């Protein structure tokens, strides 16, 4: 039997840069592949925002590459880097991508393997675009979901990101929050119409983030997005990794 593997783009130890756990020391497991291409269909090649997009995926150059890692290989690497101890001490494990739920089965197997090997799991956050439902087994392992539903400003076709069954599923999860990348009043109106009203998303779980992939753009947009948050009583999230490291990833 072939050994199970995960397709991994990068692994690193840093701090959570977004959302309710912003600032939390975390081990990042970035999985390869995504079912969307925020920024437009051929944004990877053009490196531009296409099809009316106001932002493009800031990790697309990373998650399009990767290699297969055996579970033992991953754990040995984390042991060598002393990350297992950090996870035991309370660092979060952030499973991100790309879209990590494209690898549900391998993730189930990996977390089961991890639990058997170390007798405990860390606090696990998963970052998802909200188009794929997790399995019931995987759900027992995940402590927190950062769900980033998409809008027209992603440059994608609505049928690619607006999958009602999946949205309904995440809307009902107690341990999910909803992050929206916005830059204008139109974006705010759209997310209310597409997501909040029809799926009754809890207002207290809505987080707005500026649609910026570099420090300069982030600084320029911040004040207006904070005003939207104040008006609606939603939470604001910066993108700490961009504030600190600008366009560099894996740090």
Binding residues (CB under 6 A) for ligand SF4: these are 34, 36-38, 57, 59-60, 63, 97-99, 129
Residue (34 or 177) nearer to ligand SF4, CB: 34
CB of 201 to ligand SF4, least distance (A): 18
* Listed residue (172, 107, 166, 167) closest to 141, CA to CA: 107
Residue (26 or 146) nearer to ligand SF4, CB: 146
CB of 105 to ligand SF4, least distance (A): 20
Residue (37 or 87) nearer to ligand SF4, CB: 37
Residue (180 or 234) nearer to ligand SF4, CB: 180
CB of 76 to ligand SF4, least distance (A): 27
Residue 29 host element (H or E): strand 25-31
Residue (150 or 205) nearer to ligand SF4, CB: 150
Between CA 198 and CA 196 the distance in angstroms is 6
Residue (16 or 114) nearer to ligand SF4, CB: 16
Residue matched to tokens 């290989």 = 73
Q: Is 98 left (phi over 0), alpha (psi -120 to 50) or beta?
A: left
Residue nearest ligand SF4, CB atom distance: 57
DSSP 155: -
- CB pairs under 8 A, 24+ apart, for 107-116? 107/6, 107/31, 107/138, 108/135, 108/137, 108/138, 108/141, 109/4, 109/71, 110/4, 110/6, 110/71, 110/74, 111/138, 111/141, 112/137, 113/71, 113/75, 114/71, 114/75, 115/141
CB of 43 to ligand SF4, least distance (A): 9
CB of 149 to ligand SF4, least distance (A): 10
CB of 117 to ligand SF4, least distance (A): 29
């Amino acid at each position: 039997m072939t050994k199970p593997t995960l397709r991994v783009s990068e692994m690193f130890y840093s701090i959570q840069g977004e959302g309710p756990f912003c600032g939390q020391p975390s081990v990042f497991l970035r999985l390869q592949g995504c079912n969307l291409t925020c920024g437009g269909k051929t944004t990877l090649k053009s490196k531009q925002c296409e099809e009316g997009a106001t932002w493009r995926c800031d990790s697309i150059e990373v998650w399009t590459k990767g290699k297969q890692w055996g579970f033992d290989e991953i754990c040995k690497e984390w042991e060598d880097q002393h990350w297992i101890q950090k996870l035991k001490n309370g660092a979060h494990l952030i499973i991100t991508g790309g879209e990590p739920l494209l690898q549900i089965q391998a993730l189930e197997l990996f977390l089961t393997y991890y639990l058997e090997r170390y007798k405990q799991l860390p606090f696990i956050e998963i970052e998802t675009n909200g188009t794929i439902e997790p399995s019931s087994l995987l759900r027992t392992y995940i402590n927190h979901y950062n769900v980033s539903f998409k809008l027209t400003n992603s440059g994608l076709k609505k049928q690619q990101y607006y999958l009602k069954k999946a949205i309904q599923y995440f809307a009902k999860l107690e341990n999910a929050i909803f992050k929206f990348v916005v830059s204008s009043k139109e974006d705010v109106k759209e997310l209310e119409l597409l997501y909040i009203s029809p799926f009754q998303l809890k207002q207290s779980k809505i987080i707005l983030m500026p649609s910026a992939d570099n420090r300069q753009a982030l600084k320029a947009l911040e004040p207006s997005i904070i005003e939207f948050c104040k008006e609606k009583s939603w939470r604001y999230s910066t993108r700490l990794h961009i504030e600190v490291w600008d366009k560099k990833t894996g740090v």
